Amino acid sequence: MKIIDFKKLFFTELQAIYPETEIQSFFNILIEHQLKLNRVEIALNPAIEITKTHLDFLQSALSGLKKSVPIQYIIGETTFYGLTFKVTKNVLIPRPETEELVNWVLNDTKNIANINIIDIGTGSGCIAISIAKNLPNTKVFALDISPKALEIATENAKLNGVNIQFIEADILNFSTSDEKFDIIISNPPYVRELEKEQMQKNVLANEPHLALFVKNENPLLFYDKIADFAIANLKQNGSIYFEINQYLGKETVTLLKSKGFHNSKLKKDIFSVNRMLKATII
């Protein structure tokens, strides 16, 4: 089958599910991933024959897209903070707003050397690895409860040429560390079950619920436990950085204040909602 013929099939099969611009984006991503052709090369060479191996993958990808499988899981990778990360259904797909959290930490630490940072609930490792890549003199740790997620994060650390010390543990039952940290950063589960109906179906059907959802009656559970961990393991004047539920910013600030944190600062993301929080322990 020629590229032009597959493109016609691709658009016909997906036009009732996705907008045309998104279909075009999917098509370009898949062709570049499999055939190593960019969009200009595709336009100039529409009659190139697709080999059976590549066609099998593309048809499987089309089938996945029809079932709303995210394109990142289909090709097995995504980009975050200018780096490539492998992703599977065992880890969340990194989001642009989390890049803003990483950027906040990097801006605050760009003139500081030899600090210890731990990323709690690391998943794909995108936060920890992006920090390590941009702060080469920093000692970076990353913790997760999921051994499968840590396998992916370990692969991503090797892929991006950084050294991360990974810890398999449940932060709900992990109170002390042999290391003390200058910064604790976390994007923990924060979506309440009552908010599920607001989420896209492809997220609900494919991404790990363990990394997304909390009970309605205790939505700040992970912030509470991570704050306790921070009290025990942050160095003097150390800081904690969170990605947060946009609807619970004030409540999260109040929680941290009740535990003795100071200088809490809420920050809006690219969508103009409260998405990040920084606080300091004295």
pTM: 0.93
Q: How many other C-beta atoms can be found within 10 angstroms of the C-beta atom of residue 135? A: 20
Question: Are 87 and 72 within 8 A, CB to CB?
Answer: yes
Domain boundaries, the chain: 3-67, 78-281
> What per-residue confidence (pLDDT) applies to 250?
95
Average pLDDT over all residues of the chain: 94
95-118 pLDDT tens trace:
999 999 999 999 999 888 889 999
Cross-strand pairs, 234: 181
> What per-residue confidence (pLDDT) applies to 42?
86
Tokens 């013929």 locate to 5
55-104 pLDDT tens trace:
999 999 999 999 999 999 999 999 999 999 999 999 999 999 999 999 99
Tokens 């539920």 locate to 245
251-274 pLDDT tens trace:
999 999 999 999 999 999 999 999
In single-letter form, the type of residue at position 217 comes to E
Averaged pLDDT for residues 194-213: 84
> What per-residue confidence (pLDDT) applies to 279?
97
**20 CB-near residues (< 8 Å, 6+ apart):** 11
**Angle at which helices 126-134 and 96-109 cross, to 10°:** 40
Which spans in the chain are helix H? Answer: 3-14, 20-35, 39-44, 52-66, 71-75, 96-109, 126-134, 147-159, 201-206, 221-233, 249-258
Question: Does the pLDDT of residue 204 top 90, yes or no?
Answer: no
In single-letter form, the type of residue at position 142 comes to A
Could you tell me the CA-to-CA distances from 158 to 81, 169, 196 in Å, in that order? 16, 21, 35
Hey, what CATH class is 78-281 in? alpha beta
Averaged pLDDT for residues 29-41: 92
Question: Are 275 and 246 within 8 A, CB to CB?
Answer: yes
138-190 pLDDT tens trace:
999 999 999 999 999 999 999 999 999 999 999 999 987 889 999 999 999 99
Secondary structure (DSSP) of 17-74: TS-HHHHHHHHHHHHHHHH---HHHHHH-TTPBPPHHHHHHHHHHHHHHHTT--HHHH
> What per-residue confidence (pLDDT) applies to 70?
95
Here the tokens at position 33 are: 């991933």
Greater confidence (24 vs 215) lies with 24
> What per-residue confidence (pLDDT) applies to 282?
77
Residue 161 and residue 5: Cα distance in Å, rounded?
40
Percent of the chain with pLDDT over 90: 80
Residue 90 and residue 56: Cα distance in Å, rounded?
24
Question: Are 242 and 223 within 8 A, CB to CB?
Answer: yes
Note the Cα 197 to chain centre separation in Å: 21
